[in-house]
Amino acid sequence: MKARNTDFAVMAGILLCLVVSLRPILFTDQVIRAPDILNEYYWSALRLAQQPFAELFSFKLQAIWDIYGNGGNTLDGGGQVNQFLIWQGLLYKLLPLPVAVAWFILLYLFVAASGIYAWCRAVGTSRLAALTAGLIFALAPETATLINAGHVLKIATISFAPWAFFCLAKGYQEKRLVWFLATGCVLALQFFHTHWQIAYYTCLAIGLYGLFHLVVEWRQLSQPAGWNRMRMLLMTLLVPLFFLSSVAMDLLPLKSWSQDTNRGVQSGSNQGKGGLDREEAMQWSMPPEELATYLIPGMFGLSRQEAGDRPRQGEVYYWGRMVFTQTSSYLGLLPWLLLPLPLLLLRDRQTWFCAAIIVIGLLIAMGKYTPVYHWLFDYFPGMNRFRVPKMFLFVPLAAFCLMAARGIDLLRRQELLETPVVQRYLAAVVSLPLLLGGLLTSELVWSSGWLAVLSELLLQPTRYQQGVELATQRWVNLIDETKIAIMFSAGYALLIYQTVKGDRFRALMPYLLLILFLFDVGRINSSMLVTTSLPQTNRRDHRSPAVEYLAAMSKEYRVLPLASGSEQYALHKIPVLFTSMPVQKRRWQEYLDALSLQSALPDIMNVRWLVADEKQYEQNKGHLGERYPVVFRGGNEVVLENRQVLPKAWLVSQVKVETDQLQRLKQMQDLSFDPSRTALVESAPPLALTSAPKPGEVRLERYEGERLSLSATVAANSLLVVGEKYHNGWKATIDSKPSTIVPVNHILRGVYLTPGKHTVEFCFDPLPFKIGKWLTLGSFALFGVVALREWWLRRRDNAGPA
């Protein structure tokens, strides 16, 4: 009990340090100045805060089809697990906005720091060393400057990675099932935070951690150890299996959805393997020369121009080889200075794993600049689905933290400090400020040589500056940053020297190193923690005159904004044809690429209104002709009505079989194509169709997200065409009997009808989501049973015999 109370006290210390370090964004009435927060995340948080309290505890375990965005949009049920993250909504209900966003970030940084603390304690470090490691992870600019980028959910997702390492380490220590299941459970919770690249990288790291431990365990088990080895193998394999079943509610729908996208295996990109093109995937690779920023953090600038002009005079924008960067890769000097100690004095499984993951992580982060990432991109499953290789750096950071904690403990062991290897280590530490001093001297004495080498980079323009003045500012900044690096390295060297050479500072050493670290990283973080006034309205939430006009119209028809983003219409429950998304369904992208306002392509998707600004309309009204007359003017906007738009559903008695998608799109672009009379299908119809001038009538009875109902009076065998996307998650019934849905006109769906009166219903009920839902719920129920059993066994063992 006393040990537990001490741990709680340490946790309180971690929280206090985080509050003090992040106070510029915590105690203010302003919001973090990051475009992703100002334009997106803040408004999502506001909607969470405004929802009724009871909705936080209501769960809709159903796949969603959004009729308002992107011509009908879905992830096949992926993302529904967000409903389980109740604490997020509670936080925004209990704390006032906008400061609640900053406290939300603080909460997850505390979770991350606590996870590192728990992992370090599990492998045997002291509490003080583990506390320092936790703060290194949370406050290292590599993590903390994600705030500057506005990557709130990335921070939240990263925070679970240390807990996965902790649970797996406990599993191999105690050989108990509950810890292996807990590892899978933590990975699942991380996955639910929707930053799948971070989750993917964490799974890679945990896989390496498990494989490394398993090999060591097998080698250390004495003979005969057949069953023990098999037991360890089975429990290790249980981690990925339990993780996959726990996230099945998200993973199976997303896997199904992604297959036929412009990044899927059928997309033809990446030499036909799917995923991203090589250049796009490796665009944010860390250039090798930026490894120097681990010693001189501001060498290539710090502030980022995407968030606006410099918040403080004298700061310099990033000017390295990446397109831009929103964060700093700096970890503080302390982790690097402590890294050699366990490598020299404590060469056990934890040390070797951390050393390996640091090397591997840095190679992956450098992306296109090393053959390692190229090989992974070509051959390792899933790697080509993501960009920003530099994002992997949070994994080696966790390893750095464990090594730093062990290094602090080694510095407190007097019997080790007098060994020759430690003396050589001390000489290296003391030489660092001398080497940096030599660099500064060369910068001052041979500035012309340096400028000649760096001239191309130094002269790169920004949106605010260019020319010689910009290059001079960058050069002066480089010199100043070198001076500051010398000061901090000298401070660390002095503390470590006094620890090794004398007893006076040995007890205080961890505290003094921690304080110096907080000042070290605090200098960088403070330049990134910038706030600004709260925006009164969001450009996407703004109700323009056109939005007001169209909000009163039938939801059966869609809008195509020509001048502005479509998000503001979709948010106000106005169906739009197109919403910008990095990943689109392949057929839908082909339709969008072929879209012509003079063809029938807008008609078949029920595009009834176009929205343009006055200038755009005046420039193009000659091309729009009588087909698109003006029906509303307001502000600077013009609303045009498409006179040829088709209804939500219609009957055709004539079809043409066309299996080639290029030919289908070409025929649909032809101005002579009349979709109200003829439909293009991809297989022969099951009914004999004869051309009829009026095959019948269709009436829309119900139009909701996951359900669509129609009544049809059919005069002759016909194809009922619906102006909605074809998707294999939709099921159809005709007069309550199951029917087959066929793709029509490349992107639409349809069913064949015989003469008579029929009731046709479409229901969105994708099988992957149904299977995944029960696997996820069953997995968490299983974990609950195992955890309760473990609690009962521990309580029984602690009680002892009566």
Strand 637-641 vs strand 630-634: parallel, antiparallel, or unpaired?
antiparallel
| pTM to 2 decimal places | 0.88
The confidence band for 148, taking pLDDT boundaries of 50, 70 and 90, is: confident
Query: Can you give the pLDDT at residue 7?
Result: 87
The per-residue b/e assignment along 312-345, b for 16 or more CB within 10 angstroms, e otherwise, is eeebbbbbbebeebbbbbbbbbbbbbbbbbbbbb
% pLDDT > 90, the chain: 56
Q: What is the distance between the alpha carbons of residues 293 and 173, in angstroms, rounded to a whole number?
A: 37
Q: Is residue 258 part of a domain?
A: no
Residues 517 and 571 reside in one and the same domain? no
Residues 193 and 331 reside in one and the same domain? yes
Is 674 in contact with 644 (CB distance < 8 Å)?
no
Residues 679 and 568 reside in one and the same domain? no
Q: What is the distance between the alpha carbons of residues 464 and 135, in angstroms, rounded to a whole number?
A: 36
Residues 227 and 320 reside in one and the same domain? yes
Query: Can you give the pLDDT at residue 542?
Result: 65
Q: Look at residue 44 and tell me whether its pLDDT is greater than 60.
A: yes
Q: Is residue 540 part of a domain?
A: no
Find the mean pLDDT for residues 434-440.
94
Distances (CA, A) of 534 to 30, 81, 399, 565, 624: 6, 30, 38, 22, 41
The confidence band for 54, taking pLDDT boundaries of 50, 70 and 90, is: confident
The confidence band for 22, taking pLDDT boundaries of 50, 70 and 90, is: very high
What the block records as the tokens of 123 is 């492998």
Find the mean pLDDT for residues 45-53.
84
Q: Look at residue 541 and tell me whether its pLDDT is greater than 60.
A: no
Q: Look at residue 303 and tell me whether its pLDDT is greater than 50.
A: yes
Is 583 in contact with 261 (CB distance < 8 Å)?
yes
Most confident of 444-448, 560-564, 745-749: 745-749
Residues 792-801: tens digit of each pLDDT:
988 887 765 5
Query: Can you give the pLDDT at residue 564?
Result: 67
DSSP-derived secondary structure letter, 724? E
Is 524 in contact with 330 (CB distance < 8 Å)?
yes
Where does residue 100 rank: exposed (0-12), middle (13-18), buried (19+ CB within 10 A)? buried
Find the mean pLDDT for residues 525-540.
75
Domain C-terminal end among 488, 505, 529? 529
Residues 636 and 710 reside in one and the same domain? no
Residues 6+ apart with CB under 8 A from 2: none
Is 647 in contact with 606 (CB distance < 8 Å)?
yes
Q: Is residue 124 part of a domain?
A: yes
Query: How many residues would you count in the chain?
Result: 802
Label each residue of 651-710 as H, E or C. EECEEEECCCHHHHHHHHHCCCCCCCCEEEECCCCCCCCCCCCCCEEEEEEEECCCEEEE
Q: Is residue 786 part of a domain?
A: no
In this predicted model, which residue has the larger pLDDT, 692 or 671? 671
Cis peptide, bond prior to residue 224, ω within 30 of zero: yes
Residue 424 burial (CB count, 10 A): 11
CA–chain centroid gap for 786, Å, is: 31
Residues 335 and 454 reside in one and the same domain? yes
Residues 169 and 222 reside in one and the same domain? yes
Residues 216-236: tens digit of each pLDDT:
877 776 555 566 778 888 888
% pLDDT > 70, the chain: 93
Rounded to 5°, the CA angle 8-13-17 comes to 150
Query: Can you give the pLDDT at residue 802?
Result: 45
What is the total count of domains within the chain? Answer: 3
Residues 141 and 189 reside in one and the same domain? yes
Range of the domain at 463: 2-57+69-252+286-529
Query: Can you give the pLDDT at residue 412?
Result: 85
Residues 552 and 518 reside in one and the same domain? no
Find the mean pLDDT for residues 673-698.
90
In this predicted model, which residue has the larger pLDDT, 71 or 527? 71
Query: Can you give the pLDDT at residue 697?
Result: 93
Q: Look at residue 737 and tell me whether its pLDDT is greater than 60.
A: yes
Residues 551 and 467 reside in one and the same domain? no
In this predicted model, which residue has the larger pLDDT, 624 or 102? 102
Query: Can you give the pLDDT at residue 309?
Result: 56
Residues 653 and 632 reside in one and the same domain? no
Q: What is the distance between the alpha carbons of residues 674 and 603, in angstroms, rounded to a whole number?
A: 10
Residues 349 and 497 reside in one and the same domain? yes
Q: Is residue 497 part of a domain?
A: yes
Q: Is residue 272 part of a domain?
A: no
Residues 379-436: tens digit of each pLDDT:
898 888 888 899 999 999 999 999 999 999 998 887 777 788 888 999 999 999 999 9
Find the mean pLDDT for residues 625-644.
89
Q: Is residue 518 part of a domain?
A: yes
Query: Can you give the pLDDT at residue 460?
Result: 79
Mean pLDDT of the chain: 88
Radius of gyration of the chain (CA): 31
Residues 6+ apart with CB under 8 A from 475: 447, 450, 451, 454, 458
Residues 478-499: tens digit of each pLDDT:
899 999 999 999 999 999 988 8
The beta strands (E) that lie in 676-801 are given as 678-681, 696-703, 707-714, 718-725, 730-734, 737-739, 742-744, 748-753, 756-764
Q: Is residue 323 part of a domain?
A: yes
Query: Can you give the pLDDT at residue 768?
Result: 93
Q: Look at residue 263 and tell me whether its pLDDT is greater than 80.
A: no
DSSP letters along 73-110, please?
B--TTTTGGGGG-HHHHHHHHHS-TTHHHHHHHHHHHH
Query: Can you give the pLDDT at residue 473?
Result: 84
Widest pairwise Cα distance in the chain: 101
